[in-house]
Structure 1
Amino acid sequence: MARDAPSIDAYGDGGFRLSGARHEGSVLIVQDKARPWPVTRLADLTPEALAPVLEAGPREVEFVLLGLGAANALPPRAVREALSKAGIGLEFMDTPTAARMYNVLTAEGRRLAAGLIAI
Structure 2
Amino acid sequence: MRLNEVVYDDAEPIEGYGAGFFRIGGKKHPAPVVTGGLGTRPWGGYEDTQVLLDMTGEVDVLFIGTGTDIAHIPAALRQTLEEAGVGVEVMSSPAACRTYNVLLSEGRRVAVALLPVE
- C-alpha contact 1:15 1:25 (8 A) present in aligned 2: yes
Match of 1:33 in 2: 39
Aligned with 1:90: secondary structure? strand
Following TM superposition, by how much is the alpha carbon of 1:112 offset from its aligned partner in structure 2, in angstroms? 1.5
Match of 2:66 in 1: 68
- C-alpha contact 1:7 1:103 (8 A) present in aligned 2: yes
Instruction: Tell me, in whole angstroms, the C-alpha distance in 2 between the residues paired with 1:27 and 1:94.
Output: 14
Instruction: Tell me, in whole angstroms, the C-alpha distance in 2 between the residues paired with 1:62 and 1:8.
Output: 19
Aligned with 1:17: secondary structure? strand
Q: Which amino acid aligns with 1:108?
A: E
Are 1:22 and 2:28 matched, yes or no?
Answer: yes
Instruction: Tell me, in whole angstroms, the C-alpha distance in 1 between the residues paired with 2:107 and 2:49.
Output: 22
Instruction: Tell me, in whole angstroms, the C-alpha distance in 2 between the residues paired with 1:94 and 1:68.
Output: 5
Give the root-mean-square deviation of aligned CA atoms.
1.4
**Where do 5+ consecutive residues of structure 2 fail to align?**
1-6
Instruction: Tell me, in whole angstroms, the C-alpha distance in 2 between the residues paired with 1:53 and 1:109.
Output: 20
Select which of 85, 89, 93 maps to 2:83.
Answer: 85
Match of 2:3 in 1: none
Aligned length: 111
Aligned with 1:97: secondary structure? helix
Match of 1:116 in 2: 114
Following TM superposition, by how much is the alpha carbon of 1:64 offset from its aligned partner in structure 2, in angstroms? 0.7
Following TM superposition, by how much is the alpha carbon of 1:93 offset from its aligned partner in structure 2, in angstroms? 0.3
- C-alpha contact 1:10 1:17 (8 A) present in aligned 2: yes
TM-score, normalised via structure 2 length: 0.85
Match of 1:51 in 2: 50
Rg (Cα) greater in structure: 2
Identity %: 38
